Amino acid sequence: MTEEEKNTNQKAEEEKDEDENPDFKVVMPKANRVTMEPEEFKEQPDYLKVFANFYIAQFGLDDLEIINLYDKNHNMVDINKYLLNNIHFPRKTLIKHVLQYHDYNFKALLDEISKDEDIDPEQMKTYEDWNTWYEKRRAKIPGSLS
């Protein structure tokens, strides 16, 4: 036997002795896995989903001035903060999430709009309905002379 083989055999025996020594035994705990239940979303009426979609589109265009005219209780602050923090979501997902937490803010805005305008938010079934109303409302604002 060569010197190298002796050293290799000696190291193998030392490792074997360490494995058998209970003082050096390492015990790995089992993983404690916790899974979160998927979030259950409230069922929202279609007119509210359509308005939220329109609102988010206007938010993306920085064009919420008309809707701001109807914000009496600063509902838009809550909505906009949520949108800024979660803007990375696709629009469909963002609508579902924003309505989960801020549906009452959207309803308050719609209540103010329906008080001042001759529209029923529940009859506004499409994005185009809201866009048409928005442009008509914008046309009512007098132009500047300067």
Residues contacting residue 95 through CB under 8 Å, at least 6 positions apart: 49, 52, 53, 56
Query: Which pTM was predicted?
Result: 0.73
Per-residue pLDDT at 67: 93
Per-residue pLDDT at 99: 95
Q: List, run by run, the mean pLDDT of 10-residue segments along the chain (146 residues).
A: 70 58 75 86 93 95 92 94 94 94 95 90 92 91 66
Per-residue pLDDT at 146: 46
CB atoms within 10 A of CB 32: 5
What DSSP character marks residue 89? S
Distance (Å, rounded) from C-alpha 93 to C-alpha 64?
A: 21
Distances (CA, A) of 96 to 53, 104, 144: 10, 14, 39
Distances (CA, A) of 129 to 6, 51, 54, 132, 136: 89, 10, 10, 5, 11
Per-residue pLDDT at 49: 95
Amino acid at position 146, single letter? S
